[in-house]
């Protein structure tokens, strides 16, 4: 018996020593792989496929070494032991995730980058080359699938019970892998959607909504003008353009749900200008199509919305564009030109809207015909989407299923945005004075309440920069400063604010400059909603602090908001403890 115990003891010591050797191999391999991952990622982001490919063999060697060590029979046997097995399984899964990245994700990305890059997406004589996009689809799909598997490996590691250094390493790996998986999923959607939506499988027709944030709506601004966009084999051409005010009011109100009516009233979708009163772009697009077809418009395959700041981003790439009336539109001044100066130049509303539409069309024409920086174009479009200044809806169900959860889809009511709060602004004055309205939104943490979950505070600061001097106020274009209906003194703005909780949360107390305030209460799409109106004299300001109770288990809150002329349409999340 003693001899047997000695043998067992020796075997245990040998196994422990061998396991230690394997552990050292894993640590060295993982550490050596990190610079390779960074170098390959940087090269691919820069479009340097050759540099990425040159570093790939080294990265794959380190990843394979780490994975092989964790598949050793001794390692597998030790994984059955309490506590130690938890540590070994975590190391194994991290190593496996790295191997997937090195052996599948990066090679597929290199193949995709070799098939299509930013320069391949620049329109040539008005047409976007679609063949490179189609050629890249298999590689992008493979990379997205592999990245999702790598992300799932690390996301599934239970961190409870891990030694602190290992728990930290797992947490550090989760962020980049989740980010990469999400990004590649979106790229996969893009390369799958682009060819058919640009007419590769047959002609497409889209309704373009040009938004005017000088008169705010939740989705960005009223629809100032509309245009018809045709796409055939990647070739884009603008057709009919007209001011939205020329489209008729619906004879019968749109079929609104009870929750929509309670929150937005029956103005939602009754005219084209008001379809963006809802913060959910797919719903706005459906209403826009209803108004369009009621006015005699032909059926469309989708709806695209764009607002002036996005046009400014594009002008950064194309350079200045001359409008039909000779006005030079430049990136630094186009927003003021469209939302301020145009009202002095064209006092008649129809003429103003026509100028607005013609200017947008001129920028579009330059975009598809004037050579520009490929990377700059991709960055400008990406920035506009990230800031929620561009949105797209498809009438084709399989395409819309991919679009809805993406940033381009603009769907506030999609499950992908369920954890976000909302702060949306609608003009209640009927003027174009929102050009002078500043709106800052931030998320702070509320003081915890014993026995309750986490709470956050939406801090909203509104400030009117409408000239307070009577002479300066009188000098503003009348169409901009008055609605012609009376009721609101010239220069005074009335803004309807709609606050949404995340799904499963609640809008609790609302305070304005320290005092509790009320407002209309309701629910929409599983969210608690509160609506109130802010009235600001020229030069005045107000602060609202809206306490939001987070859903069970949630510890952080971000928000969607109506994009401002200076502010993006999203607010970064803040982590709050319960």
What residue spans define the domains of the chain? 16-197, 204-394, 418-575
Distance CA 507, CA 521 (A): 9
Cβ atoms of 230 and 203 within 8 Å: the answer is yes
In this structure, what are the phi and psi dihedrals at residue 264, rounded to the nearest 5 degrees?
Answer: -105, -20
Q: With 90 as the cut, is the pLDDT of residue 492 above it?
A: yes
Per DSSP, the three-state class of 537 is coil
Question: In sequence order, what are the beta bridge partners of 177?
Answer: none
Instruction: Name the strands in the sheet holding 515-516, side by side, starting at the edge strand that comes first in the sequence.
Output: 437-445, 455-464, 541-549, 506-512, 515-516
Residue 290 to residues 179, 207, 293, Cα–Cα distance (Å):
38, 11, 5
Within 8 A by CB and 6+ apart from 69, the residues are 22, 23, 25, 26, 29, 75, 95
Distance CA 430, CA 488 (A): 9
Tell me which of 78-82, 207-211, 415-419 is least confident.
78-82
The model's pTM is 0.89
Cβ atoms of 318 and 436 within 8 Å: the answer is no
Within 8 A by CB and 6+ apart from 578, the residues are 448, 452, 453, 454, 455, 555
Tokens for 482? 């008055």
Distance CA 386, CA 30 (A): 34
Distance CA 231, CA 233 (A): 7
The structural architecture, per CATH, of the domain 418-575 is: Sandwich (2.60)
Distance CA 347, CA 503 (A): 44
CATH 2.40.160 fits 204-394, yes or no: no
When pLDDT is averaged across residues 571-576 and rounded to a whole number, the result is 94
Q: With 50 as the cut, is the pLDDT of residue 12 above it?
A: no
Q: With 50 as the cut, is the pLDDT of residue 11 above it?
A: no
Q: With 70 as the cut, is the pLDDT of residue 343 above it?
A: yes
Nearest Cα to Cα of residue 98 among 70, 142, 55, 60: 60
The band of 408, judged by pLDDT with boundaries at 50, 70 and 90, is: very high
> Can you give the pLDDT at residue 374?
75
In this structure, what are the phi and psi dihedrals at residue 524, rounded to the nearest 5 degrees?
Answer: -155, 125
């Amino acid at each position: 018996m003693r001899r047997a115990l000695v043998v067992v003891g020796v075997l245990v010591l040998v196994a422990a020593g061998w396991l230690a050797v394997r552990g050292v191999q894993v640590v060295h391999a993982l550490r050596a792989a990190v610079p390779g991952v960074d170098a390959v990622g940087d090269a691919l982001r820069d479009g340097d496929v050759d540099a990425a490919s040159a570093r790939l063999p080294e990265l794959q060697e380190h990843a394979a070494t780490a994975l092989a060590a964790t598949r050793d029979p001794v390692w597998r046997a030790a994984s059955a032991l309490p506590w130690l097995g938890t540590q070994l399984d975590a190391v194994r899964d991290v190593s496996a995730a790295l191997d997937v990245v090195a052996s599948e994700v990066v090679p597929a990305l290199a193949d995709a980058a070799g098939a299509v890059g930013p320069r391949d997406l620049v329109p040539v004589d008005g047409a976007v080359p679609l063949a490179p996009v189609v050629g890249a689809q298999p590689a992008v799909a493979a990379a997205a699938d592999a990245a999702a598997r790598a992300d799932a490996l690390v996301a599934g590691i239970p961190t409870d019970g891990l030694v602190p250094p290992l728990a930290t390493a797992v947490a550090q790996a989760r962020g980049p892998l989740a980010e990469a998986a999400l990004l590649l999923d979106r790229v996969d959607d893009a390369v799958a959607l682009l060819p058919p939506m640009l007419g590769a499988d047959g002609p497409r027709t889209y309704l373009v909504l040009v938004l005017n944030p000088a008169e705010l709506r939740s989705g960005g601004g009223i629809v100032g003008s509309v245009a018809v966009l045709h796409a055939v084999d990647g070739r884009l051409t603008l057709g009919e353009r007209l001011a939205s005010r020329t489209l008729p009011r619906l004879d019968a109100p749109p079929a609104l749900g009870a929750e929509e009516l309670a929150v937005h009233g029956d103005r939602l979708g009754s005219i084209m200008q008001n379809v963006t009163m809802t913060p959910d772009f797919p719903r706005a697009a459906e209403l826009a199509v209803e108004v369009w077809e009621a006015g005699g418009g032909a059926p469309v395959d989708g709806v695209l919305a764009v607002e002036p700041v996005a046009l400014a981003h594009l002008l950064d790439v194309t350079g200045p564009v001359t409008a039909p009336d000779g006005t030079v539109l430049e990136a630094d001044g186009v927003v003021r030109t469209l939302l301020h100066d145009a009202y002095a130049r064209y006092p008649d509303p129809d003429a103003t809207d026509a100028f607005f539409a013609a200017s947008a069309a001129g920028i579009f024409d330059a975009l598809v015909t004037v050579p520009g920086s490929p990377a700059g174009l991709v960055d400008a479009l990406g920035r506009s989407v990230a800031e929620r200044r561009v949105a797209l809806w498809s009438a084709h169900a399989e395409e819309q299923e991919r679009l809805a959860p993406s940033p381009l889809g603009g769907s506030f009511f999609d499950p992908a945005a369920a954890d976000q709060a909302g702060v949306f602004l609608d003009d209640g004055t009927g003027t174009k004075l929102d050009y002078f309205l500043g709106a800052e939104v931030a998320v702070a943490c509320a003081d915890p309440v014993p026995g309750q979950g986490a709470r956050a505070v939406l801090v909203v600061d509104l400030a009117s920069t409408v000239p307070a001097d009577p002479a300066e106020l009188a000098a503003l274009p009348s169409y901009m400063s008055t609605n012609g209906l009376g009721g609101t003194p010239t220069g005074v703005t009335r803004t309807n604010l709609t606050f949404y909780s995340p799904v499963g949360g609640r809008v609790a107390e609302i305070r304005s400059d320290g005092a509790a305030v009320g407002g209309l209460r309701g629910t929409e799409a599983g969210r608690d909603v509160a609506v109130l109106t802010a009235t600001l004299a020229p030069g005045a300001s107000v602060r609202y602090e809206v306490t939001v109770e987070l859903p069970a288990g949630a510890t952080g809150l971000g928000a969607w908001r109506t994009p401002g002329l200076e502010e993006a349409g999203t607010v970064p999340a803040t982590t709050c403890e319960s």
